[in-house]
Amino acid sequence: MPWEAMSKLDLRREFVMLARREGANIRQLCRRFSIAPKTGYKWIARFRDAGENGLGDKSRRPLSSPRRSSAEVEGAALAVRQAHPAWGGRKIRRVLEREGIETPAASTITAILRRNGQPVGAFGGGHPAWTRFEHAAPNDLWQMDFKGHVGLVDGGRLHPLTVLDDHSRYAIVLRACADQKTQTVREALVDAFRRYGLPRALITDNGSPWGDGPGSPFTPLGVFLIDQGVRIAHSRPYHPQTMGKDERFHRSLKAEALAGRPFDTLEEAARALERWRHVYNHQRPHEALDLATPADRYQPSPREYRETPEPFDYAPGDYLRKVQHGGWLTLRGRNKRVPKAFKGKQVALRPNQRDGVFEVYYRSQCIAVLDFTDENGQTQPVTYVSEQMLPISPV
């Protein structure tokens, strides 16, 4: 009779009752109950010592666990997790190492979290490694975007503006904005430039306020950046992975700083985001950096922000033109348009290798290509140039 036909306790009770009778053949009973003789004698002994209470299953937990983490280590790991609910075993292990606490393996810390009812893998961990690309030095490239917007208890809206250094993942800007207007972004960038210096390039998507759509990516904000010697680039349309590091930063921001109850006011949100920015930059181990922090890899740029941009000298042989209202300029008696954001600015038309084709430069950045001829002698449409800075890391 298989043990599964009745409850285990009933089978054990019946087996013991029969086995304790005078003249019982124990080994024969074991065969008939489909158990090993060793198991049969074990249940007989347990019944003799504890009665029917001895027939229940005992815990398989060992009497001692000499390799189990100490209560101090377990408590420290749980304390870090309580402070940072989205962090997993690898991040917590690195924090304990920095604090000089005896550190088990990351998998052991993950087991500690599970044993104490803490969810793991909700916001990262366990995913296959990405093939990463990154710029070689801090401030070679910054990535900029808004993390959507969320409501506030007082009825306002929070628009978190983020700027991330591509090399170090250092959060240059995390500002609680009331809107997504050009002046709001410009003020945040000026504050960042004054503190951290100028990047060599800055990449954004194609939306407002830094883009005017995929066909015309230049806006007054882009002109402001070019005036500072910062090359402006735009991600490929419908390819958010081009700015993958900032996208991944947004994921952490949502999990660790924006989760929970909404902020009452914009001022409360600003204080909370700045506190989290410090944690992210200086305390939070980053898996893409071999569990170093962004601050371990970042240093400010030596390029100073200038309140008034210096004049720019174009190359000999360039045709200099001032952009008129609507983006119009004239060359060889023909009118052509460039992005209207450059209204009032002096640009240079530089002959291309093809006859009748000119590249248009504002300072050091090519902003358009003008083709003045075709087979019918008609002017060709302007081509706007968006500096596609690829490859960019997806994480």
**Residue range 174-178: average pLDDT?**
95
Which of 37-41, 79-83, 184-188 bottoms out in mean pLDDT, i.e. has the lowest? 79-83
**Cα–Cα nearest to 24, from 36, 41, 38:** 41
Tokens at 163, concatenated: 């700027």
**Residue range 292-316: average pLDDT?**
91
pLDDT class for 4, splitting at 50, 70, 90?
very low
Q: Which CATH class is domain 142-297?
A: alpha beta
Indicate if the pLDDT at residue 127 is higher than 50: no
Cα–Cα distance, 193 to 187 (Å, whole number): 10
- Taking CA 40 as the corner, what is the angle to CA 37 and CA 46, rounded to the nearest 5 degrees? 140
pLDDT at site 391: 35
Residue type, 106: A
Tokens at 388, concatenated: 């596609």
Q: Give rounded-to-5 percent helix, strand, coil for the chain.
A: 35, 15, 45
**Residue range 35-60: average pLDDT?**
83
Residue type, 45: A
Q: What predicted TM-score, i.e. pTM, was given to this entire model?
A: 0.65
What residue ranges do the domains of the chain occupy? 3-55, 71-115, 142-297, 319-384
Residue type, 173: V
pLDDT at site 5: 41
pLDDT digits (tens, 9 = 90+) for 353-388: 788 889 999 998 888 888 877 555 444 545 555 544
Q: Which helix (H) or strand (E) holds 262?
A: none
Which of 241-245, 286-290, 325-329 bottoms out in mean pLDDT, i.e. has the lowest? 241-245
Which of 19-28, 127-136, 344-353 bottoms out in mean pLDDT, i.e. has the lowest? 127-136
- Sign (positive or negative) of CA dihedral 266, 267, 273, 274: positive
Is pLDDT larger for residue 314 or for residue 240? 314
Question: What is the DSSP secondary structure assignment for residue 286, as one 8-state letter?
Answer: B
